Structure 1
Amino acid sequence: MINVNGAALAYDDTGAGSPVVLVHAGIADRRMWREQIGPLAAHHRVVTLDLRGYGDSDLPTGTFAQHDDVAGLLDALGIERAALVGCSVGGAVAIDVALAHPHRVSALVLLGTTVSGHEWSDETNDLWEKVIGDVDAGDLDATAAADVRFWVVGPDRQPTDVDPALLDFAREMDRRTLAAEATADNFAMLRLDPPAIGRLGEIRVPVLVGAGAADVPDISRLADQIAAEVPVATRLPDVPDAGHLLPLERPASVNDALLTFLASAN
């Protein structure tokens, strides 16, 4: 644990070399990078963290910003600049760090990423209604199961198409986050203002962006938009038969892409 902006954040720090910080998805915690740490740490200093309110980190209190927490972690660890790798919400946080603290970021890898300020399309909302329907927000098991069914499995696959151990792990991570959210109160999370969705052209570092072909269509479209608007961006082909948590579901493909890109970006 390390104190960052008044909160204790859990992290792991492995390997040596140019720094890489891995930022987890909103339905996960730092354990989702378990397949990346070893391969990356053979060449890089690899830091994984639990964002505030996730995993082993403190529950949020007061006013805070996730992108400032990531920059604060770099300060606390004595890291001047790092490549940021983010999945889903973690990708949105990574983008926000690159915009709010551009001198701290050397490169971005964005996997199944969202973008601050993006509004989900009617198609995505309709898909949720079709695939999931109504869920009792007070039933944490049901909510976690719904999140994993929609995001990890994806709207066009069936749960039997995905490794059951992966689904169990994803549900456990998400339920832990939901339980923490249910007990957190009296806090305000500050958003990047103006948000990233209209500012992608301001990013001046190399960016690698990819998505799973079985993810919701908005995610692939966001990847296309990032690749089109960021001046130095590489768009990976959508990974076949993969959903929202690419690093867990397709670790070999992700690791190969990460190592190749980071070697060229540093």
Structure 2
Amino acid sequence: MIVSHDVDGPADGPVVVLLHSSVADRRMWEPQWQPLIEAGFRVVRPDFRTCGDSPAGTAPYSDAGDVLDLLDHLGAQRAALVGSSYGGRIALQVAALHPERVSSLLLLCPARPGHEPSAELRKFGAAEDVFLDAGDLAGAAEFNARTWLGPDAGADAHALVRAMQLRNFEIGLTVTGSHELPEPEVDLAAITAATLVVGGAHDLLDFRDIAAELPSLIPGADGVELPWAGHFPSLERPAETTRLMLEFLARA
């Protein structure tokens, strides 16, 4: 199954794949979509399964495998991967297991394969479950927006995150059984792509720690913490984050 996706930009342009957070879907990249295309990139933004417009399917799958299948479908041998949160986790899997397919890697407040959640993150999950167990999907979506968006996020960003998360919750209710394959073990030292890891000073502790740690685990990786950012800098200060993305992709 080829997941639902958008693709645009010059046919011969360098390919950039935008991988969304599990709280979101491919709409989270709307502020970056047109600027990347205008900069000459061939831009791809998929929806992971059970997010946005991608169904779960009935055959065993992995999100990393879906990214590789999509690249094959588009005839792209190599691509830059930009991953937000869970999308960063998937980008790390692809880059570590198939380094020849990834030209550069930009990780925005990424999750990390094998990370054990802290007490703070488990507390968030328990609070979210209270809403979900009560059937209050809208309340759970609002709780996620309040938790993950930093202080600079405007009303439009909050509304979009609420809408994306609510849709993902609704899709989740229709899924019976999981066909997702177990997450593979990965060696981050196998990554050869030029890598930039971006953290947010207002993010939850787990993601601040991951962003601080990853540059020491990925050969040649650089890291930066944005003092104004929460978990979604691309939505909180979209113009500033777009500039950061374009500058890194141009260098890489």
Q: Same fold (TM over 0.5)?
A: yes
Q: How does 1:27-38 map to 2 (within 5 A)?
A: 27-38=23-34
Shift of 1:167: 0.7
TM-score, with structure 1 as normaliser: 0.87
Q: Which residue of structure 1 lines up, in the alignment, with residue 209 of structure 2?
A: 221
TM-score, with structure 2 as normaliser: 0.91
Aligned-partner residue type, residue 35 of structure 1: P
Change (3 A) 1:18 1:152: same
Aligned pair 1:258/2:245, yes or no?
yes
Preserved contact between residue 50 and residue 172 of structure 2 (Cα < 8 Å): yes
Preserved contact between residue 18 and residue 44 of structure 2 (Cα < 8 Å): yes
Out of 132, 149, 152, the residue aligned to residue 152 of structure 1 is 149
RMSD of aligned residue pairs (Cα, Å): 1.9
Gaps of 5+ in 1: 1-6
Q: Which residue of structure 1 lines up, in the alignment, with residue 199 of structure 2?
A: 211
Aligned pair 1:201/2:195, yes or no?
no
Q: How many positions carry a matched residue from both structures?
A: 248
Q: How does 1:87-98 map to 2 (within 5 A)?
A: 87-98=84-95
Preserved contact between residue 199 and residue 212 of structure 2 (Cα < 8 Å): no
Shift of 1:118: 0.6
Question: Distance between the aligned counterparts of 1:148 and 1:66, measured in 2?
Answer: 24
Between 66-75 and 256-265, report the one with greater CA deviation.
Answer: 256-265
Q: 4+ residue runs of structure 1 moved beyond 6 angstroms?
A: none
Q: How does 1:24-103 map to 2 (within 5 A)?
A: 24-42=20-38, 43-103=40-100
Aligned pair 1:120/2:117, yes or no?
yes
Shift of 1:192: 3.1
Q: How does 1:125-136 map to 2 (within 5 A)?
A: 125-126=122-123, 134-136=130-132
Q: Which residue of structure 1 lines up, in the alignment, with residue 166 of structure 2?
A: 175
Q: Which residue of structure 2 lines up, in the alignment, with residue 13 of structure 1?
A: 7
Q: Deviations for 1:170-199, whole angstroms, at most 9, x for unmatched residues?
A: 1000000111111011332123321x4xx2
SS in 2 for 1:12: strand
Gaps of 5+ in 2: none
Q: How does 1:160-171 map to 2 (within 5 A)?
A: 162-171=153-162
Shift of 1:240: 2.6
